[in-house]
Amino acid sequence: MKSKILLIFAFQSSCLQEAHKKEVLHFLLKTPEIKLIADYDIKFIFFAPGLTGWKHIVDVVYSNYSDYFGVILFVDIDRVLFLSNIISFVFQSLNKAIVFTGAKQNLLVNSVDAKSNLINSFQIASIPIQEVCLVFGSRVLRPSRSFISRDSQYNLFSATEDGLIGKIDFGFTPISMKQSSRNSKMIFAPNINDRISHLNLYPFTNLEVLTCGVGDGALIQGGIIDNQATEAIHKCCDRVVLFDTQGHRQCDQCINIEKCQLEAAVSKLMWSLGQTHDLKKFRNLFKANLTGEWGYSL
């Protein structure tokens, strides 16, 4: 294994992608101090919208994973939570770090946080952290327990107590790190099913919407699940996740979840649906606490 870091810049494809690439290379040329922390190779991914794009990113990470000491993905902050959650489920039992970072402003040269986030990410990718993490501001977070925060200009994300991997001050100060052997074998489970719906049940929502085709799985958020709603859910589909709902009844089709992050729940639903067609296996897989996403056993 080369003791090198792979730095991936992943942006949605656009007509400006060549200009974007040029800007990134210029930015890196003006930041030679990164090479003091680690040597690195750069890759650009300009991905298509939707599942094809996500798979593209997963494929690039997988095909390079074994050749590098760590991987850094610099992505748009709007997508970083979903993408890092999906990667957490696709790549399990990691023996190195896959770090997600980004910048508040798209134009890197003018960005106040791009340089600092990137330098911190290199520091994290160079030490034996063995999981997917988000590095923004002074925090190193577990994606499945993270959420957007407005704490400060720099800490763009926050996490529940069990989602804080560590803090960055003079270097990295660990708080709760996963420990596994550097020689452990990574589990790669890349199938994702994007045919899902996310519905908010407001008090006056017409429950007929549930019968209009919600795809292979649905996440229903909020609302009161009474007899009428349960009946509608039965007609809807057989893989339904109830997220922070009230008054729900025991039903085989539904899995109740609460106190978790929406991005983690949606990503887990897509990933679990991609792994199996069997209802029982799906339920077991979804309920399993793979990356600490539930914070507790369901």
Neighbours of 195 (CB within 10 A): 14
CB 219, min distance to another protein, A = 31
217-221 vs 196-200, strand pairing mode? parallel
At 226, list the tokens: 């009474």
Q: What are phi and psi of 46, to 5 degrees?
A: -110, 100
Please report the sign of the dihedral spanned by the C-alpha atoms of residue 60, residue 215, residue 201, residue 244.
negative
Residue placing its CB nearer to another protein in the complex, 161 or 169: 169
As measured in angstroms, the least distance from the Cβ of 33 to another protein is 4
Distance separating the N- and C-terminal Cα atoms of the chain:
39
C-beta closer to another protein: residue 13 or 155: 155
CA pair distance 271, 132, nearest whole angstrom: 16
Q: How far is the CB of 201 from another protein (least distance, A)?
A: 36
Q: Measured from the CB of residue 35, what is the shortest distance to another protein in angstroms?
A: 7
SS3 per residue for 187-222: EECCCCCCCEEEEECCCCCCHHHHHCCCCCEEEEEC
Inter-residue contact 121 to 98 (CB < 8 Å): no
- Least distance (Å) from another protein to the CB of residue 19? 24
How far is residue 256 from each of residues 85, 201, 248, 267, 298, measured CA to CA in Å? 20, 15, 8, 16, 8
Tell me which residues touch another protein (CB under 8 A).
Answer: 31-37, 115-116, 119-120, 122-123, 126-127, 136-139, 151-155, 167-171, 173
* Cβ-based nearer residue to another protein, 147 or 154: 154
Contact 11, 76 (CB under 8 A): yes
Q: 105 or 200: whose CB is closer to another protein?
A: 105
Q: How far is the CB of 133 from another protein (least distance, A)?
A: 16
Provide the 8-state DSSP code for 262: H
The amino acid occupying position 61 is V
Q: Least distance to another protein from the beta carbon of 150, Å? A: 11
Q: Toward another protein, which CB reaches closer, 139 or 145?
A: 139
